[in-house]
Amino acid sequence: MIALFVTLDVRPGLGEKLMAAITAQGALSLEREPGCTQFDVCVDVANPDRVLLYEVYTDEAALVAHVETPHYAVWQVAADECVGHVEKTVTSVVPG
């Protein structure tokens, strides 16, 4: 299992637009991608312009396939407009 942590710093005034795009992206990822097992969208309590994503994929191939989907391309257009800074970390999930 592969986990992807993404931190998005939202440009002022574009939070609603970003949230609409990312919640649609998450729902479509879970619905259409068998390798996507979790897609959580969180908002930093101390900074509502910081959105955190926690995504889990069955393996690295599923993560690569994720960024090649049509719904990811739609999301990327919104992200390019709404996000000022992105930080990504890919980890392996430790079985527990």
Q: What is the dihedral of CA 45, 10, 66, 77, to 10 degrees?
A: 150
Q: Which helix (H) or strand (E) holds 55?
A: strand 50-57
Per the prediction, the chain carries an average pLDDT of 96
Domains of the chain and CATH, by start: 2-92 (3.30.70.100)
pTM, whole model, 2 decimals? Answer: 0.93
- The DSSP call for residue 43 is E
Query: What pLDDT score does 67 carry?
Result: 95
Q: Which residue has the tokens 């949230």?
A: 19
| Phi–psi pair at 45, nearest 5 degrees | -65, -40
Query: What pLDDT score does 96 carry?
Result: 82
How many residues can be counted in the chain?
Answer: 96
**Under a CB-based contact definition with an 8 Å cutoff, are residues 4 and 87 in contact?**
no
